[in-house]
Structure 1
């Protein structure tokens, strides 16, 4: 069994038939066979390669090609070897997708075939109980097909531009922004140098001190600090007698423009009443 695995994928036609093809990538051996050889390939995997463990079975909708049914099986570890994984695939047309059931080879494929029948519409002939497994009984259609219409799109139209090729309004496409830390795919990665250059952002000019912000009114000069009444005018007795303020006062250089006080002209300091 181990020797047979080691001969693959070169000996795929010798083991699985003339129309079989195989490739190996990431420690997974993948074998493609025609639909007529589907059950024979499963039996070969179980008997000749020792893949007694059935993992899962599902399908993929390939537009323009058909439904690609996949079965993943494995050979359990034995002396001198680890787990050997095998992916068997076959393709059935969209018009009449049908395959013989694999339950006679792997009993665990029964539920997987029921789910694949629900989601993709692939019929598995001679299945013992091909009834709905996950969907309601009155559900119409197969939701994992590419041509299945989403109910959300019917009930409420998608706002603005949709996926590429789905928008008819011809409006401008919103500019895509890369989050911080994500490199430009045209500068790093498998598509380096193959994508059109991204639009450059306008350079940001640094404003100098005192320059007004664009779009706002010009900055006004800061208001001058207000001097207190007692500091700028002196006390009432000083104004009445003409005594200058102290030499160390901050207002000593400020001229006094108020008229001299008269006995019959009360000052504001006494509340407007003559003493």
Structure 2
């Protein structure tokens, strides 16, 4: 059985008595003290077969320190085994031995962690900024770092818009939005700018002021008159369209005139149209002579 499969229960035996391990979501996490950082990386590489170096970074834990994390992987027998080694350095002395001698790929990761968190990796071959410019101040991934994008900076041109061409003329200051620190307290222009002007008092809107002063209410919209409708018997009994009748002979449809009540002819004079016709009786044979 691989030694990796005995973890996390065997973590104190493999990494030392102060090591604490846990496994979750397929990743084995082992916390070791600062003094065992390099030896734990060597154990992971030589005894656990974690020869693949993935990444190294840090997390700023307020009240605790900077937690350095190194993620390495074992790929033996086509089986992926992940290991996350962690250690914690205090905020007052953020220093840790470099892991470049164990994993050469940690060189750039330690340079990034150095400039982003301020953690110094001793014995590093070339510990210089990797991503930020050389004149950048501070470490942007610390929790106490003030974002430069939220600081109001001075106008980069020779003069501010609308000001005189005299370079000695006082320059105006922009209003500071809520939550933005004063550039006189932080930034490249610290202590070199005039104090920010006071925020003017907010005035009520015109609509609100008019309502409080008793402005007349808005008149209701006039309603449009509905068109007049016809009244009387003609409106109550609209004319019906003429019916269409079909001829039995040719099967064509013809339009018939609307039926009107016959008041001139009495009912007795009407032909019996509803009485069915009876067939004629056969003729009697001629009498014998």
TM-score, scaled to structure 2: 0.56
After superposition, give the CA deviation of every residue in 1:188-223 in whole Å (9 maximum; x if it has no partner). Answer: xxxxxxxxxxxxxxxxxxxxxxxxxxx993773633
Aligned to 1:4: 3
Aligned to 1:220: 223
Instruction: Pick closer, same or farther for the CA change 1:149–1:11 going to 2, 3 Å.
Output: same
Whether 1:97 aligns to 2:94 is yes
Instruction: Pick closer, same or farther for the CA change 1:158–1:7 going to 2, 3 Å.
Output: farther
Distance 1:43 1:77 in 2: 17
Secondary structure at the aligned position of 1:57 is classed as: strand
Instruction: Pick closer, same or farther for the CA change 1:61–1:220 going to 2, 3 Å.
Output: same
Query: In the TM superposition, what is the alpha-carbon distance from 1:152 to its structure 2 partner?
Result: 2.6
Query: In the TM superposition, what is the alpha-carbon distance from 1:151 to its structure 2 partner?
Result: 1.6
CA RMSD between the two structures: 2.7
User: For the pair shown, which has the larger CA radius of gyration, 1 or 2?
Assistant: 2
Whether 1:115 aligns to 2:115 is no
Aligned to 1:45: 44
Alignment of 1:137-156 (within 5 A): 137-155=134-152
Distance 1:219 1:90 in 2: 78
Gaps of 5+ in 2: 153-174, 181-217, 236-289
Query: In the TM superposition, what is the alpha-carbon distance from 1:159 to its structure 2 partner?
Result: 4.7
Secondary structure at the aligned position of 2:45 is classed as: helix
* Structure 1 stretches of at least 4 aligned residues deviating more than 2 Å after TM superposition: 156-161, 215-227
Q: Give the count of matched residue pairs.
A: 174
Q: Is this contact kept in 1: 2:49–2:76, CA < 8 A?
A: no
Instruction: Pick closer, same or farther for the CA change 1:158–1:69 going to 2, 3 Å.
Output: farther
TM-score, scaled to structure 1: 0.58
Secondary structure at the aligned position of 2:151 is classed as: helix
Gaps of 5+ in 1: 162-214, 228-248, 251-275
Distance 1:55 1:103 in 2: 13
Secondary structure at the aligned position of 1:73 is classed as: strand
